[in-house]
Chain A
Amino acid sequence: MKILIIDDEEDIRYVCGSSLELIGGVDVFEADGGHQGINLAASEKPDAILLDMIMPDMDGAATITALKKNPETASIPVIFLTTRTLSLDFARMKSLGAAGWIVKPFDPMTITDQIKEIINK
């Protein structure tokens, strides 16, 4: 299982990646922003993408829009990894085509299961 993490925060990428690799046993690819993430998604074809909402230059909304526009990446489930917890935010994520969302701070022990649950829904 391959998961792409797109987040501008290096610490988050590291902790999240470590959790997924160590606890979940998945292959992790990291991108520090939207542009890099789109390219990696197209090249690596991950099973899921964990996408931060608030990022400089290209935010989560723009990134998912671009991913969904590209036929090569359109079918990859995108899961927002977000600090936003308002219903309004979740509704927006859904409308952008997100498969689900995981609220920060996540539980490293269960995050892999959460991703799998969302993908398999």
Chain B
Amino acid sequence: MQVELKIKHKGLILVAVPLLFELVFLAVLSGLLRQADYKTWQEMHSKTVVYESSALSRLFHDAGIAMGGYALTKSPLFRERFDSIVSSIPREFKHLQKLVGRNSSQKGSLKRLETYTNSGLHLLSTARDAIEIGGEGVSRVRSLYSEMKGVSKNISTELDNLTAESRKIEEDGPNARKQSDQMVRVFLAIGVLFNIGLAFVLSYFFSNGITKRLFILTDNANRLARAEQLSDPIKGTDEIAHLDAVFHNMADALAEASRKERAIVENAADVICSIDADNKFTKISPACKKLWGYEPSELIGTRYLNLVISDDVEETAIATRALRKGQHTASFETRTYRKDRSIVTVLWSAFWSPTENSMFCVAHDITERKLIEEALKESERRVRSIIENTLVSLIVIDRFGMIELVNPQTEKSFGYPAEAVLDQNIGILFPQFMSAEDNFIEELFAQASGRIADLEMMRADGELFPVEFSLSQLETNEGTRFIANILDVSERQEFEKLKREFVSTVSHELRTPLTSIRGSLTLLNTGMLGNLNEKGERMVSIAERNTIRLINLINDILDVERLASGRVEMQFDNTEVSSIIERSVESVRSFADQHSVKLEVGDLRPLTRVYADGDRIIQVVINLLSNAVKFSPKDSTVTLNIKEETEWVELQVIDRGRGIPEKYKALVFERFQQVEVSDAKRKGGTGLGLAICKGIIEQHKGSIGVESEEGKGSTFWFRLPKAPQGEAVMA
């Protein structure tokens, strides 16, 4: 099993193992030295013990000699000598006892020696007393001396026993010291050798575990820098392995980033390329095929300026030079040729790398954008031209009414130069404006926002003139603004007035003589003024009929003109449909009878109401019914149906006449349109009836139409909004 350690653990081992070994080595060495010291001390001690034993033995010997001398001479010198020796014997014994007292094996010998010593001392004391007595005592001394010899011998024997070990130690001392020294030397040699071995082992351990790994790591770092494949990951869990894993992750990430970058470059819609100092493509993305029609291989090695059209070459070259001289990044537009010689406008975003002596570019096709920009510019020119040439005064104001912009027509209409009104309140162009503080502007916004208000404005010279004034909101970068559209309608109003007067005059001037003619002819036709002959009656009838036709034409023309100009004032009210139908049918009934046509009314809900001008709707229904009768074959039926829905009511006039050809359906509601030119003559009518009907229905916010099949009849219909429920009803 391989133990995986971190570097710090390995470092710890590197320090701890030799240290531990040194400690053990020192401890053992210290033990050996202490052992040698002990042996030396033991040798010295043994020598002392032997010496002291000899001394004790010598004392007894000397005491015996002194006692003999004293016994022989009675000399006080021997006595003193004797006393002195005897007195030192216990001291000497105690000293010896102290020296060997620690050794338990010698305690028995020591005890016996003590007994023999005390016996010896007693014998010596007894002998001294015997000598002091003299006489027989001397013979006693002799026997005591013999006893003394025995005791002395015992003491010598015990001393020999006691000092036998010491003597052995003393004898063995040099050998033991030598042995000990040798052991120390051997141990030192082993220790040094082991230390060297350990150093080699640990070095190998580190070399194998760290240095080699560091080498791999360095190599991987270099490979990473060169974007080369890395060696296999270093095994283990230590910091180096971890760092190596980081390098591998970095390498993977870089490879991934590189793959993505390559994918981006290869799939980018824009061309990505590098261009060297000679302006030649060194690398180029596949998008060049789409942009210029060339494969990358066709462009690499060619000068990019070859693509640029001759008019733009100089400008492009200047931009490139500026880039290289220190600008570093730049964007410039050039027109370039495609392979098929069509022109494509390109926006170059370029970066100059001095270290690589290359230009890195992104070329973006802006042909479409340029076209749009051109179109926008053209559109702007057009709009500007319209604004500047329109006959409508346009004034841009803020929400407080302060004027920010005026068009030339404003200057013309109001007689102010632009600078005189800019930053002024638009209120100065109105007669009733007093100050910006009053609520005039607020009311103006309420009145004219999103709709046309008929107002009176004031020119610089104080002249008042009528305008159609509307405000439309405009969102700008600077916030909400409003455009005041001001149309000077003084001329139009004047024209309208003249037209009204003309119509009125014509109407009056035509009606007045027609009144006399019609009245005269009618009265003549009654026979009350005298009888005419048959031809005369016929002539008068023709004259009367055509006068009525002329009157109807004038009435229709007036109606159409008024409907077209929106001057017909409708009297809107909630009106019952049944009432409209009854009155209309009643009006047309005799006409229908004359044509032998039957009028039929479908089911009718009495309470159905419409919000309408009853008289005008009756005019429409009469017109439709009259038309239906006119174009129906004899003995046929004209049906008036009512269809009711939630929001509206539809009235249908159905005839069984000749129908309307498809191509005329859209035209029948136009003025002076009849299916056949002869209809006006054969059927009467002005060709304005349906146009009037359409005008009336549209004024009611309704709709009108026809469905028809040639040869089978027609259905004219119109729809009107239903009246709100619960309102008063006008019959």
A positions within 8 Å CB-CB of B: 9, 11-12, 14-16, 18-19, 22-23, 54, 83-88, 103-109
Q: A18-B519, A19-B519, A108-B519 are in contact. Are A83 and B512 (CB under 8 A)?
A: yes
Contact with A along B537-576 (1 / 0, CB 8 A): 0000000000100010001001000100001110100000
Closest CB of chain B to A107's CB: distance in Å?
Answer: 7
A-B contact pairs, 11 of them (CB 8 A): A12-B516, A12-B519, A18-B519, A19-B519, A23-B526, A85-B555, A104-B512, A105-B519, A105-B551, A108-B519, A108-B522
In this assembly, does B515 line the interface, its C-beta being within 8 Å of a C-beta of chain A? yes
- Give chain B interface residues in 514-546, CB to chain A under 8 Å: 514-520, 522-523, 526, 528-529
In this assembly, does B42 line the interface, its C-beta being within 8 Å of a C-beta of chain A? no
A79–B211 alpha-carbon span in the complex (Å):
130
Closest CB of chain A to B523's CB: distance in Å?
Answer: 5
A84–B562 alpha-carbon span in the complex (Å):
13
Q: A54-B508, A105-B551 are in contact. Are A15 and B519 (CB under 8 A)?
A: yes
Residue of B nearest to A103 (CB): B511
Contacts of A88 in B (CB 8 A): 569
Residue of A nearest to B555 (CB): A85
Establish whether residues B515 and A106, one from each chain, have CB atoms under 8 Å apart when the complex forms.
yes
Establish whether residues B519 and A16, one from each chain, have CB atoms under 8 Å apart when the complex forms.
yes
Establish whether residues A12 and B526, one from each chain, have CB atoms under 8 Å apart when the complex forms.
no
Between A12, A23, A104, the greatest number of chain B beta carbons within 10 A of the residue's beta carbon is seen for A104
Chain B contact residue count (CB 8 A cutoff): 27
Q: Pick the contact of A19: B517, B523, B558 (CB < 8 A).
A: B523
Establish whether residues B526 and A9, one from each chain, have CB atoms under 8 Å apart when the complex forms.
no
A19–B529 alpha-carbon span in the complex (Å):
11
Residue of B nearest to A13 (CB): B516
Residue of A nearest to B571 (CB): A87
Establish whether residues B528 and A11, one from each chain, have CB atoms under 8 Å apart when the complex forms.
no
A59–B472 alpha-carbon span in the complex (Å):
47
Q: Pick the contact of B512: A9, A19, A87 (CB < 8 A).
A: A9
Establish whether residues A105 and B511, one from each chain, have CB atoms under 8 Å apart when the complex forms.
yes
Establish whether residues B504 and A84, one from each chain, have CB atoms under 8 Å apart when the complex forms.
yes
Establish whether residues A15 and B523, one from each chain, have CB atoms under 8 Å apart when the complex forms.
yes
Contacts of B519 in A (CB 8 A): 12, 15-16, 18-19, 105-106, 108
Contacts of B551 in A (CB 8 A): 105
Establish whether residues B515 and A12, one from each chain, have CB atoms under 8 Å apart when the complex forms.
yes
Contacts of A9 in B (CB 8 A): 512, 516
A19–B521 alpha-carbon span in the complex (Å):
11
A85–B508 alpha-carbon span in the complex (Å):
10
Residue of B nearest to A14 (CB): B516
A83–B562 alpha-carbon span in the complex (Å):
15
Q: Pick the contact of A84: B508, B513, B568 (CB < 8 A).
A: B508
Closest CB of chain A to B612's CB: distance in Å?
Answer: 15
In this assembly, does B507 line the interface, its C-beta being within 8 Å of a C-beta of chain A? yes
A109–B544 alpha-carbon span in the complex (Å):
13
Establish whether residues A22 and B520, one from each chain, have CB atoms under 8 Å apart when the complex forms.
no
Contacts of B507 in A (CB 8 A): 83-85
Closest CB of chain A to B563's CB: distance in Å?
Answer: 13
Closest CB of chain B to A114's CB: distance in Å?
Answer: 13
B positions within 8 Å CB-CB of A: 504, 507-508, 511-520, 522-523, 526, 528-529, 547, 551, 555, 558, 562, 567-569, 571
Establish whether residues A87 and B523, one from each chain, have CB atoms under 8 Å apart when the complex forms.
no
A19–B526 alpha-carbon span in the complex (Å):
10
Contacts of A109 in B (CB 8 A): 522, 526
A107–B516 alpha-carbon span in the complex (Å):
10
Contacts of A87 in B (CB 8 A): 568-569, 571
Establish whether residues A22 and B526, one from each chain, have CB atoms under 8 Å apart when the complex forms.
yes
10 A-B pairs with least C-beta separation: A15-B519, A105-B515, A87-B569, A11-B516, A83-B511, A83-B508, A104-B515, A108-B522, A105-B518, A104-B511
Q: A22-B526, A83-B511 are in contact. Are A15 and B569 (CB under 8 A)?
A: no
Establish whether residues A15 and B515, one from each chain, have CB atoms under 8 Å apart when the complex forms.
yes
A83–B555 alpha-carbon span in the complex (Å):
11
Closest CB of chain B to A23's CB: distance in Å?
Answer: 7
Residue of A nearest to B511 (CB): A83
Establish whether residues A15 and B520, one from each chain, have CB atoms under 8 Å apart when the complex forms.
yes
Contacts of B511 in A (CB 8 A): 83, 103-105
A107–B515 alpha-carbon span in the complex (Å):
9
Residue of A nearest to B567 (CB): A86
Contacts of B528 in A (CB 8 A): 22-23
Closest CB of chain A to B212's CB: distance in Å?
Answer: 113
Contacts of A84 in B (CB 8 A): 504, 507-508
Residue of A nearest to B516 (CB): A11
Known contacts A18-B523, A108-B522, A109-B526; 11 further A-B pairs (Cβ under 8 A) = A12-B516, A12-B519, A16-B519, A83-B508, A85-B555, A86-B504, A104-B511, A105-B515, A106-B519, A107-B518, A108-B518
Contacts of B529 in A (CB 8 A): 18, 22
Closest CB of chain A to B283's CB: distance in Å?
Answer: 84
Closest CB of chain A to B501's CB: distance in Å?
Answer: 12
Contacts of B523 in A (CB 8 A): 15, 18-19, 22-23, 108
Q: A15-B520, A22-B523, A85-B507 are in contact. Are A105 and B569 (CB under 8 A)?
A: no
Closest CB of chain B to A27's CB: distance in Å?
Answer: 17
Residue of B nearest to A15 (CB): B519
Closest CB of chain A to B296's CB: distance in Å?
Answer: 82
Between A9, A86, A105, A106, the greatest number of chain B beta carbons within 10 A of the residue's beta carbon is seen for A105
A45–B393 alpha-carbon span in the complex (Å):
60
Closest CB of chain A to B181's CB: distance in Å?
Answer: 152
Closest CB of chain B to A103's CB: distance in Å?
Answer: 8
Contacts of B558 in A (CB 8 A): 85
A108–B526 alpha-carbon span in the complex (Å):
10
Contacts of A11 in B (CB 8 A): 513, 516
A16–B517 alpha-carbon span in the complex (Å):
11
A104–B57 alpha-carbon span in the complex (Å):
193
A84–B511 alpha-carbon span in the complex (Å):
9
Closest CB of chain A to B516's CB: distance in Å?
Answer: 4
A116–B658 alpha-carbon span in the complex (Å):
43
A106–B528 alpha-carbon span in the complex (Å):
18
A88–B569 alpha-carbon span in the complex (Å):
8
Residue of B nearest to A90 (CB): B569
Closest CB of chain B to A78's CB: distance in Å?
Answer: 19
Closest CB of chain B to A43's CB: distance in Å?
Answer: 27
Contacts of B513 in A (CB 8 A): 11
Closest CB of chain A to B573's CB: distance in Å?
Answer: 14
A19–B522 alpha-carbon span in the complex (Å):
9
A19–B513 alpha-carbon span in the complex (Å):
16
Closest CB of chain A to B511's CB: distance in Å?
Answer: 4
Closest CB of chain B to A82's CB: distance in Å?
Answer: 9
Establish whether residues A107 and B567, one from each chain, have CB atoms under 8 Å apart when the complex forms.
no
Contacts of B508 in A (CB 8 A): 54, 83-84
A15–B521 alpha-carbon span in the complex (Å):
10
Contacts of A16 in B (CB 8 A): 515, 519
A87–B551 alpha-carbon span in the complex (Å):
19
Closest CB of chain A to B269's CB: distance in Å?
Answer: 68
Residue of A nearest to B519 (CB): A15
